[in-house]
Amino acid sequence: MEFEAATPTTWNRAGLEAAGYAGFVTFGELRRLGASTKPGVYVVLRSPSTQPTFLPVSPAGKAKSFTEDVAHLQRNWIPGAEVIYIGLATHGARRDGIHRRLKQFRRTGAGTADNHGGGVWIFQLADANDLMVCWRAADDEADAYVAALEHHLIADFAARAEQGRWPFANRKA
């Protein structure tokens, strides 16, 4: 499968914009503005200019706790990285793709749902509401293609010398 069009030359806002990613809105703005209803990938960004502050208890999750030990979060932080999470969104039952998945993500982070377990470490950041999210519709809408695209992007991020591992909030199972 070919993923070059969706792979940024640099893992920062400029690189993502050049690769056709859209949005670049905060989670607060996302609720008002919405996102693409196509399947594809989305990326969460944080300004690398300040050190992160982690909350002792995560607000994420309604019935399930997503709190992680602060020392563990600090060990997994990648200094200087702007991209902190890469996720995927398939069509879904309502065929509302990225829009639905980001709504689930936002609601889990706000503590009103439990239906997005990936990337929840970002909500333990004190500045989580200021994080930006962007997205790119997949060139092929098949679920297998979207999943392969996400895996490719995570692997590309990890292969870059400046990162050397998966984005901060992408956890291996």
The string of pLDDT tens digits covering residues 69-81 is 999 999 999 999 9
- Sheet of 132-137: strand order equals 22-26, 132-137, 40-45, 83-89
By the 10 Å C-beta count (0-12 exposed, 13-18 middle, 19+ buried), 35 is classed as: buried
Model-level pTM? Answer: 0.93
pLDDT tops 60 at residue 62: yes
Interacting residues of 81 by C-beta distance below 8 A, sequence separation 6+ = 11, 48, 162, 163, 167, 168
Residue 171 exposure: Cα atoms within 13 Å on the Cβ side: 14
pLDDT confidence of residue 24: 96
Tokens of 95: 């065929």
Phi, psi of 51 (to 5 degrees): -70, 145
- pLDDT bucket at 33, cuts 50 / 70 / 90: confident
Q: How confident is the model over 2-7, as a mean pLDDT?
A: 85
How far is it, in rounded angstroms, from Cα 74 to Cα 89?
28
Give the span between the Cα atoms of 143 and 156, in whole angstroms: 20
| Tens-place pLDDT, residues 102-128 | 888 888 888 887 777 788 899 999 999
Please check whether residue 161 is in contact with residue 18, taking contact to mean a CB–CB distance below 8 angstroms: no
Handedness of CA 93, 94, 97, 103 (dihedral sign): negative
Query: Does 145 score more than 80 pLDDT?
Result: yes
Strands, DSSP E only, in 58-151? 83-89, 132-137
- Span 76-87, mean pLDDT? 93
* Of the candidate ranges 29-38, 43-52, 131-140, the one whose mean pLDDT is the lowest: 29-38
What is the Cα–Cα distance from 160 to 105, expressed in whole angstroms? 27
pLDDT for res 93: 64
Tell whether the model's pLDDT for residue 173 goes beyond 70. no
Question: Quick one: what percent of the chain has pLDDT higher than 70?
Answer: 97
Q: Is the pLDDT of residue 155 over 90?
A: yes
